[in-house]
A and B are shown apart, each in its own frame.
Chain A
């Protein structure tokens, strides 16, 4: 075996194509192709295999799990469930994105349509589009704008200019004229005519061409969209604007300026004289945060989704959004990946397919599935909980009776789902309640979601306690306002049932009070605060005064407030709790933690979306045994081996490299290497060093330096 494999590595089956820059791939004829063909022709023993080769499109891309014993139909079911659930989610997400987009598009195209040159007193109508910092979304946004203005509204040609086109005024005008005049070339080819009209041939950066074109197309507006204003050269931009302004009487220009930062910075960039030439409006592209909040609320907190994200993944995604890319597309992509990996790798995810008719779930679950369920961590916790309750028969049944497990699963699947819905509602209630407060620091729902799931946020947390306290202090107007909002927006039976009668009684009280000339009722819990008295006694006296100032209605009202408070408290207590105690929460809240040793704190998402490629390479080189897992390079203790002769040459060289200073003498490095591998194979390590050094250069670790003969300069320091 060893001989064979080493030969395989040795024999570097010379591929003539490996130095060809690019080519269309065809599998090498000598191995696979003919054998497969032969099989299709006469191979009957391997019928199934050939079929799968022939129609790969119909093949389910999911692997067979449960040690390869998963049934074909459940594999298929998993795939279908993935397609269905993600499809639904994607549809909703796209709808949200679309609606956000549409508003901007409508506004801007409306602007382009409306003003004529006269209404701007000869100035260039300009739309400042505040696009926000996520530059990834700018290009699609401007393309959508262009296609809308050009193709749907038929206002006229749209030219998108980016800073890359703007090396000088001439080239930018060339591009502008070419793009503007050729956009409807397919319809009528008058280009020749335009150029030749005046008899003499016009230079291709002469705006006269555009002017002629405009004469032919009466009523068309020329829209110039500048995508990244900040990156534009200031002088070119102001030249361009003054040029447009000069032609304004002949060519109906409209400007769209994309601004990623702020209008102030835009103002600073251009001279005042240029800015005076423009007139227009500012369009805020719908705040990205709002968009994220909507998508998040829809995919995590709303009632629709069946699969949600667990706290760790959720935190990771939000942190990535906040701190790194600010990109909603990336967020959606990561969400999709969560769906993908959940259904790809978890055989139990088929349970999610039966959320609408849980009864048929029992038939699909094979004994293997049941066994898998018994291995889920939350099952263990569930059983332990039962044991603590001294419910031994139940435990015995769970461990031995498959049918019992089936029915339990059905019950807890429903439980999980309602838990998720309730958490979502509770968060909504929380948000509404907080919005009714004077409180300034508003934490959006999506920030709180992960905290609730991980159990950090519950009814005892300051955030909730503060809320409840301030609720007690509310006067009747604001309390009624709050209650109205809650009952309007959230349909929670518990709240509706308990709050509605209280609300009516408060209304009745207020009406009674109004008849006696009092507008609002104050809560007795609100009286203490505004005391300026210094001593405890005087405070108490004042308190007593205030209390006695309360009317009978006020006291009555205070009692009701207390009741509302109690209802809310018990509601939050009931629904704001972590998912730890929940049986089967793994299936409904995707929270896969990476098996990778170093990144235990990160979910696998972290590796896939925010990898640490540099430290991976550094680790492979400095501790090859971590990857190779070989015995020769590991110490008996298993840790911290340092440099060893058996390690791959590149790794030895790298570790020597780490120890050296910023300049490295190649000869000394060679000597050191020679000493490490020891022995008399000195000749042999020549090429190993050469190769290792070339690799180091290839990886960007060293470069050649002229500071000293035969020296290398160090370029990378480990662990940065």
Chain B
């Protein structure tokens, strides 16, 4: 019984292994699910498992090399030379081979129900990144009625909010700490609010409370995608010097910051409070912006009240930055919807079919603003694409659209035939507009010919075509 030492080594780890029949086919990754035993010699046990698995694979005659196998082999190879326990292994192969006699396929499904995978902690990461668990259904959103802006707003308006009273209660609870926050600000700390829910309203209430005189409070909406540090600095300068000041701040942000700090340093300037909604907003998330804002906020005349929402926002700041910010953190979970912060387009982009140019609505809008020739060009393209889709039963399932695309030369020929353009230059000019709006995309296929297509679903194309022809 040469394989027995292997088995004895870890009898209790995976109970299923007790059954001699499937002991060989236990899959490596399943060990990630079972609760982690206190392994004193983890390396060794991993090696043993690897060995066992290689045996199983050899026996099963399974030649497919997937990542699991790769990992297993690596683990085994790593420790092979330094360990002298390898002796029984070749025998184990023989033994197992002799016992089973013939190759058999991999077991499809375990008989007993799988233990529920953990949904928390690091184990869940490994559990959920397994190949087997990554298999998802092929259903798409195509079967749902498309959701456009109008409908979205209508539904949002009709939507009855839940937990109204409880949310109000939470907000009231936070409002009770306003005095404390104010005191903390006065002592030279800055305040950072975190927790789930939009904190915008809460912070505006706070702004109302600490407001003393005009130009003592600057509000910055970090979630606005067009925000830049320059905007922040110039509005601070506006707040201090008044709207129509003609002080030159300079053009590059560093210079501007130096000038703003110089203004702040002068004696007659009083304290200024900054309110930044979403300090982790995408527009000011970059390191350059954060360096500048941190330097600004380290000034003793600037107080900062900011909010963060992103889970990993605290990673934005290294030790130097964090000490400049000098934050006190407060949990301000409000459960308020992020109505303002996360844009509607994003909601729709995630759920509503096409992801470019605002869906068919956007495409139609672009088309209506173009001239006849351009519209006809698009019609040519999508009717060709639709024809190709009709022939293919797989169409409408989503996925790679280029299969139904049109070759560049063919497309050009068709356009010339229809008198939409007379030369290649003009054709390219026409295409440019569509490519800018991502309504036509192109790709070189494996033979090197350029294929173009409109990245829309079948029914979307139909509706656009209807519009074009009408």
Task: Tell yes or no: A624 within 8 A of B by CB.
Answer: yes
Are the C-beta atoms of A700 and B312 separated by less than 8 Å? yes
Are the C-beta atoms of A627 and B170 separated by less than 8 Å? yes
Minimum CB–CB distance from B274 to chain A (whole Å) comes to 9
When distances are taken between beta carbons in the complex, the residues of chain A under 8 Å from B133 are 661-662
* With contact pairs A62-B183, A627-B335 given, residues A709 and B399 touching in the complex (Cβ less than 8 Å): yes
Are the C-beta atoms of A21 and B147 separated by less than 8 Å? no
Candidate in B134, B324, B329, B399 with the most chain A CB atoms within 10 angstroms: B329
* With contact pairs A19-B340, A609-B329, A629-B166 given, residues A329 and B152 touching in the complex (Cβ less than 8 Å): no
Are the C-beta atoms of B128 and A21 separated by less than 8 Å? no
Are the C-beta atoms of A24 and B215 separated by less than 8 Å? yes
Are the C-beta atoms of B179 and A63 separated by less than 8 Å? yes
A500 to B119, alpha carbons, bound, how many Å?
A: 69
Task: Across the interface, name the chain A residue whose C-beta is closest to B118.
Answer: A719
Task: Across the interface, name the chain A residue whose C-beta is closest to B350.
Answer: A693
* With contact pairs A32-B208, A138-B320 given, residues A61 and B182 touching in the complex (Cβ less than 8 Å): yes
Q: Is the interface of A mostly helix, strand, loop or mixed?
A: helix
Are the C-beta atoms of A720 and B128 separated by less than 8 Å? no
Are the C-beta atoms of B141 and A667 separated by less than 8 Å? yes
Are the C-beta atoms of B136 and A708 separated by less than 8 Å? yes
Are the C-beta atoms of A646 and B162 separated by less than 8 Å? yes
Are the C-beta atoms of B183 and A690 separated by less than 8 Å? no
Minimum CB–CB distance from A60 to chain B (whole Å) comes to 10
Are the C-beta atoms of A668 and B139 separated by less than 8 Å? yes
When distances are taken between beta carbons in the complex, the residues of chain B under 8 Å from A411 are none
Task: Tell yes or no: A463 within 8 A of B by CB.
Answer: no
Are the C-beta atoms of A687 and B159 separated by less than 8 Å? yes
Task: Across the interface, name the chain B residue whose C-beta is closest to A614.
Answer: B311
A234 to B142, alpha carbons, bound, how many Å?
A: 56
Task: Tell yes or no: A6 within 8 A of B by CB.
Answer: yes
Task: Across the interface, name the chain A residue whose C-beta is closest to B200.
Answer: A18
Minimum CB–CB distance from A277 to chain B (whole Å) comes to 30
Q: What per-residue 1/0 map shows which CB atoms of B383-398 lie under 8 Å from chain A?
A: 0000000000000011
Task: Across the interface, name the chain A residue whose C-beta is closest to B187.
Answer: A340
When distances are taken between beta carbons in the complex, the residues of chain A under 8 Å from B339 are 12
Task: Tell yes or no: A336 within 8 A of B by CB.
Answer: yes
When distances are taken between beta carbons in the complex, the residues of chain A under 8 Å from B313 are 613
Are the C-beta atoms of A19 and B221 separated by less than 8 Å? yes
Task: Tell yes or no: A502 within 8 A of B by CB.
Answer: no
Are the C-beta atoms of B167 and A616 separated by less than 8 Å? no
A694 to B186, alpha carbons, bound, how many Å?
A: 36
When distances are taken between beta carbons in the complex, the residues of chain B under 8 Å from A650 are 196
Are the C-beta atoms of A687 and B196 separated by less than 8 Å? no
Task: Across the interface, name the chain A residue whose C-beta is closest to B227.
Answer: A21
Task: Tell yes or no: B163 within 8 A of A by CB.
Answer: yes
Task: Tell yes or no: B226 within 8 A of A by CB.
Answer: yes
Are the C-beta atoms of B140 and A709 separated by less than 8 Å? yes
* With contact pairs A662-B134, A686-B144, A694-B346 given, residues A337 and B168 touching in the complex (Cβ less than 8 Å): no
Are the C-beta atoms of A684 and B221 separated by less than 8 Å? no
Are the C-beta atoms of B144 and A330 separated by less than 8 Å? no
Name the segment of A98-106, A303-311, A546-554, A710-718 touching the other chain: A710-718
Are the C-beta atoms of B163 and A712 separated by less than 8 Å? no
Are the C-beta atoms of A711 and B136 separated by less than 8 Å? yes
Are the C-beta atoms of A718 and B124 separated by less than 8 Å? yes
Q: What per-residue 1/0 map shows which CB atoms of A532-549 lie under 8 Å from chain B?
A: 000000000000000000
Q: What per-residue 1/0 map shows which CB atoms of A630-674 lie under 8 Å from chain B?
A: 101000000000000011111000000011111111111010000
Interface size on A, residues (CB 8 A): 102
A61 to B119, alpha carbons, bound, how many Å?
A: 46
When distances are taken between beta carbons in the complex, the residues of chain B under 8 Å from A658 are 119-120, 124
When distances are taken between beta carbons in the complex, the residues of chain A under 8 Å from B23 are none
Minimum CB–CB distance from B404 to chain A (whole Å) comes to 14
Task: Tell yes or no: B337 within 8 A of A by CB.
Answer: yes
Task: Tell yes or no: A126 within 8 A of B by CB.
Answer: no
Minimum CB–CB distance from B443 to chain A (whole Å) comes to 13
* With contact pairs A694-B338, A697-B346 given, residues A628 and B310 touching in the complex (Cβ less than 8 Å): no
Are the C-beta atoms of B147 and A687 separated by less than 8 Å? yes
A192 to B173, alpha carbons, bound, how many Å?
A: 63
Are the C-beta atoms of A687 and B197 separated by less than 8 Å? no
Task: Tell yes or no: A20 within 8 A of B by CB.
Answer: yes
Task: Tell yes or no: A698 within 8 A of B by CB.
Answer: yes
* With contact pairs A22-B218, A135-B320 given, residues A710 and B122 touching in the complex (Cβ less than 8 Å): no
Are the C-beta atoms of A24 and B162 separated by less than 8 Å? no
Task: Tell yes or no: B347 within 8 A of A by CB.
Answer: yes
When distances are taken between beta carbons in the complex, the residues of chain B under 8 Å from A26 are 211, 214
Are the C-beta atoms of A720 and B320 separated by less than 8 Å? no
Are the C-beta atoms of B180 and A617 separated by less than 8 Å? no
Are the C-beta atoms of B183 and A61 separated by less than 8 Å? yes
Enumerate B146-197 residues with CB–CB distance to A below 8 Å.
147, 151-152, 155-156, 158-159, 161-170, 179-180, 182-184, 186-187, 189, 194-197
Candidate in B147, B183, B239 with the most chain A CB atoms within 10 angstroms: B183
Are the C-beta atoms of B169 and A629 separated by less than 8 Å? yes
Task: Tell yes or no: A149 within 8 A of B by CB.
Answer: no
Task: Tell yes or no: A5 within 8 A of B by CB.
Answer: yes
Task: Tell yes or no: B376 within 8 A of A by CB.
Answer: no
Task: Tell yes or no: A354 within 8 A of B by CB.
Answer: no
A137 to B320, alpha carbons, bound, how many Å?
A: 7
* With contact pairs A662-B134, A684-B155, A693-B347 given, residues A9 and B167 touching in the complex (Cβ less than 8 Å): yes
Enumerate A1-53 residues with CB–CB distance to B below 8 Å.
2, 5-6, 8-10, 12, 17-27, 32
Name the segment of B14-22, B54-62, B96-104, B230-238 touching the other chain: B230-238
Enumerate B389-445 residues with CB–CB distance to A below 8 Å.
397-399
Task: Across the interface, name the chain A residue whose C-beta is closest to B240.
Answer: A24
Task: Tell yes or no: B463 within 8 A of A by CB.
Answer: no
When distances are taken between beta carbons in the complex, the residues of chain B under 8 Å from A632 are 163
Query: Which of these, B136, B323, B341, B351, contacts A689 with CB under 8 Å?
Result: B351
Are the C-beta atoms of A690 and B347 separated by less than 8 Å? yes
Minimum CB–CB distance from A394 to chain B (whole Å) comes to 39
When distances are taken between beta carbons in the complex, the residues of chain A under 8 Å from B330 are 608
11 extra interface residue pairs, beta carbon distance < 8 Å, beyond A667-B137, A690-B350 = A17-B219, A20-B221, A22-B221, A330-B323, A607-B329, A617-B196, A620-B335, A628-B335, A684-B155, A698-B338, A699-B196
Q: Which 6 pairs, one residue from A and one from B, show the smallest C-beta to C-beta distance?
A: A709-B398, A136-B323, A694-B347, A620-B196, A25-B217, A687-B155
| 8 CB-based A-B contacts, threshold 8 Å | A5-B168, A19-B221, A21-B231, A661-B133, A664-B136, A666-B141, A689-B351, A699-B196
Measuring CB to CB, which residues of chain B are less than 8 angstroms from any residue of chain A? 119-122, 124-125, 128-130, 133-137, 139-141, 143-145, 147, 151-152, 155-156, 158-159, 161-170, 179-180, 182-184, 186-187, 189, 194-197, 200, 207-208, 211-212, 214-215, 217-221, 224, 226-228, 231-232, 235, 238-239, 275, 291, 308-314, 318-320, 322-324, 326, 328-331, 333, 335, 337-344, 346-352, 355, 397-399
Measuring CB to CB, which residues of chain A are less than 8 angstroms from any residue of chain B? 2, 5-6, 8-10, 12, 17-27, 32, 56, 61-63, 134-139, 164, 325-327, 329-330, 333, 336-337, 340, 344, 607-609, 611, 613-614, 616-618, 620-621, 624, 627-630, 632, 646-650, 658-668, 670, 683-684, 686-691, 693-695, 697-701, 704, 708-712, 714, 716-720
